[in-house]
Structure formats: structure tokens, C-alpha cells
Amino acid sequence: MQKAKGVRDIFGIELNKMERIRSVFLSICKSYNANYIELPLLEPKELFERSVGDSSDIVQKEMFEIKSDNEALVLRPEGTASIVRAMRENLNEIKLPAKLSYYGAMFRKERPQKGRYRQFYQCGIEYIGEAGFGPEIESLLIIKKTLEALGVNQYEIQINYLGNIEERSQYKESLVSYFKENLNSLSEDSQRRLSLNPLRILDSKDEKDIKICQNAPSNEAFLTELTKKSLDSFYNLLTSLDIKVTKNSKLVRGLDYYTGIVFEIIDTSNKLGSQSAIGGGGRYDGLVNDNKISTEGGFGFALGVDRLMLILDDGQKTSSIDLALITTTAEGLIILNNLRDSLVNEYKIDVNYNIESSFKKKFKRADALNAKNVLILGGDEIAGSFFKIKNLTTGIETKFDNVKLNSFSETVKEYLNNQIKEGIND
């Protein structure tokens, strides 16, 4: 039996990358005082139908449904709807405004390809109950810091303003009447979308739609003077904070809950092929207001962990072992077990607890573990009060004579620290 379509086993270098992304992201979140929340993988189907929206691909065809006795459950396709639900259910415990970070697997029944999986991972933050552009600015700073810490520097932030709830609905009306005039020139998909979510037609990739969209009304005309003024100061602030964005008036994003600012992070290194979005987000005031959580709305974003993994360099040797400890005697094993305990807080140590196998086999194992050094303490060593360390990068073996076999951890530390100073293993 093989694995299911669109999922994968993640281990070795790939797992290192994944753990690195998780820890970098969550530690930056912590430094911005976001509180981590662990959300269920199973949610009621209706949650996403109501929030992500009927016109979205997610609801129309991508959810993995699990039929339980009397409820329709799905494997969560995204995190925002779950956070809004969790807020509504825990208003007594989670104070507003809330800033919640999350990390975990999401599931969408999409056609698998490079950078697109059926089980994939997102990390993100949701701000609930905070109006204004504060969450937008902080999120872009957090994303910038995260990508910088991961060494990802070829990307573009595309941004658009969809209008507040009123502006958006007026804009929607004008789009509907424009598209109705051109109904027969639209693709079948877009004709269907017209009644569900006309804004989505703007980001259609179909040639027919692209042509019609060229002359579609722009949303600028529907923005109030107040909105225009605060948008200007928002964009100016981004420039002052050295956050470069590219305005894209056709960016609407595929989920129905968005109002206000929406954005996407696009990889420009060409490492991702057609799946170049490494993250996205936006404001969803309606969702928060409709659920009677706050009148201040919500904003958030999610980064695609799998796509970041494809961009990160392979050259991580983070799992390599600083020192492998080997012996062939029971007495040696007790000494090495103690030595391990006194070194393990500062270095990556492996003890081979199998004393039966030959030294040759033990060296092979140390090599497979990517060990930098091997400490040898055999019967001869114990009898002669000495031990040896072989550096596997240089091949040089060092002998340490006249040692007290129960207290030589300082000597080993000195040896390892010298290596770090001299950059021998780099």
C-alpha cells in the first residue's frame, strides 16, 4: 500500500527545513506578543461554507469531507475560519483585541503538482478586534523579518485595497452591471461566478476574461475621501518602514471573506514554477462583525511552509553530530553515558549503546549520523588511562594520555571548542 495522492513523508533535510521555518516564525511571533493557538484538524463543513464562501474553489470542490454519524465534518482547508470560530466560543477567556499565531497541516483536494499538495502546512497570525492599519503594518514587518531570517530574499509583496464593507458592495454592484453587459464574452467559469462573487472574475487567468477585465471599472471611484487619505498615509508608512509593495488592482484572492487590504507574497526566484505564492492574507471585517465578536473587524495572513521549504537551500547540516561516543566494553559504556550527560547541553552527542558490534561498524554508523568527531574508549584505552578522538573531516586522530577516566569532560569540551574557534568542520 502506498501513500495517498498529494501527501508526502517529511524527514531528514526536508524535516530540518520545516522545523527551522516553524521555530523561526514562532519565535518572531512571540517577540511581537502573539499567543500561539492549537486548532483542531476536524471542523464542521458548514464553518467554511459560511465563511470562506460558496464561490471559492475551496468550498466548491476542495474539501475532504468525513461523514460522521449525524454531522458533516471536514479536514480544515485553512485556519482563519477556525480562529474566528474559536474566538466566538472563547470570548470569556481570550481578550480582545486578540493576536493569535498558529502552525499546522491544512487539507485541500487540489490537483497535486510542485508546491501544491493535498496536505500542506501553513503558519500565520490572526488579529481579531483591531481596526485601522496596525495589524497590516505589523504583519508585513513580521513576514519581512521571517523571510530575512530564513535567507529568502527574492520575493515581491503584491497589495490591493478592496474597500471597506460599504465601498466593496458598491464596487461589486458596478462590476456586476459591467460584466452583465459583456456576459457572452466571459468564460463559462466567470459567467457562473458573476452571481456568486464577481470580484473573483478580476483574477481569472482565462484570456477571454483578461480582455474584458481590462476595461472593467476600478474600485478607486468608490473609495471615500477619508479612505483615500488613510490609505495614502498607510502606503507612506510602509515606505518609511522600508517595506516595498507593488500595487495590483486585480488582486482579489480566492476566499470570499476579504474586505480592505489584501496581499500576496510572490516568489520571484522561479524556484516554485506556477505555484509562486508563498503567502497571503487580508482583512475580513465582515466575518468578525457577523459573528458578533467585535465591531473592529479582523486581519491576518498565512505563509505556505511547503513552498518556503522548496525555496530554502539544502545545505543545512543542522542535524550533524558534534561527537559520537563509542566503546566495546560495559565499563566504557558507563563512563561514556556519564560523559554524554555532562556534554549534551552544549553539544550534539551520540552514544552507541551497542557494545557488541565492531569498531569498524561503529565508525560506519557515526559516518551515517554525519558525526564530526568520534571518541574511542576501548578496553586498551581504559587499561592505559587514555582515550582518542578522531576528527572525521580532517582524518586527524588525537590521543589524550594520563586522563582520569571518570572526569575528562573538560578536556573534551576544550577540544570541541578549539574546533569551533578554528572552523575546522565548516
Q: Among residues 386, 328, 339, which one has the least CA distance to residue 362?
A: 328
Could you say whether residue 282 binds ligand HAM (CB under 6 A)? yes
Does residue 200 belong to the site contacting ligand HAM (CB under 6 A)? no
Identify which of residues 284 and 408 has a Cβ nearer to ligand HAM in the complex.
284
Query: Of the ranges 16-24, 63-71, 75-83, 407-415, which one interacts with ligand HAM (CB under 6 A)?
Result: 75-83
Cβ closer to ligand HAM: 150 or 351?
150
CB of 163 or CB of 332, closer to ligand HAM: 163
Residue with cell 480582455: 211
CA distance 186 to 147: 39
The count of residues interacting with ligand HAM (CB under 6 A) is: 25
**Number of other residues whose CB lies within 10 A of the CB of residue 225:** 7
| Under rule CB under 6 A, residue 48 binds ligand HAM | no
- Cα distances (angstroms) measured from residue 305 to each of 14, 21, 119, 407: 11, 7, 11, 45
* In the complex, least distance from residue 349 CB atom to ligand HAM, rounded to whole angstroms: 36
Residues 146 and 26: their CA atoms lie apart, in Å, by 9
302 binds ligand HAM (CB under 6 A): yes
Residue pair 90/98 in contact by the 8 Å Cβ criterion: no
From 149-157, 209-217, 303-311, 396-404, span contacting ligand HAM (CB under 6 A): 303-311
124 near ligand HAM, judged by CB under 6 A: yes
Binding-residue pattern over the window 216 to 255 for ligand HAM, x denoting contact by CB under 6 A: ---------------------------------------x
**According to CB under 6 A, which one of 48, 73, 74, 78 is a site residue for ligand HAM?**
78
- In three-state form (DSSP H/G/I as H, E/B as E, the rest C), the secondary structure along 205-248 is CCHHHHHHHCCCCCHHHHCCHHHHHHHHHHHHHHHHCCCCEEEC
CB of 162 to ligand HAM, least distance (A): 13
User: Which of 53, 79, 135, 163 lies at the binding interface for ligand HAM (CB under 6 A)?
Assistant: 79
Whose Cβ is closer to ligand HAM: residue 78's or residue 285's?
78
- C-alpha dihedral, 87 to 91 to 92 to 96, nearest 10°: 100
Stretch that binds ligand HAM, among 117-125, 146-154, 215-223, 360-368 (CB under 6 A): 117-125
Which residue is associated with the grid cell 518572531?
A: 28
Structure-block grid coordinates of residue 336: 561514556
Question: Do 194 and 183 touch, CB atoms closer than 8 A?
Answer: yes
Report helix, strand or coil for 339: helix
In the complex with ligand HAM, the residue whose CB is nearer, 121 or 387, is 121
| Closest of 303, 297, 253 to residue 87, by C-alpha | 297
CA distance 189 to 182: 14
Part in contact with ligand HAM (CB under 6 A); list of ranges 10-18, 186-194, 302-310, 398-406: 302-310
By beta-carbon proximity to ligand HAM, the closer residue of 115 and 198 is: 115
Q: Which residues bind ligand HAM (CB under 6 A)?
A: 78-80, 108, 110, 115-117, 120, 122, 124, 126, 255, 277-282, 300-302, 304, 306-307
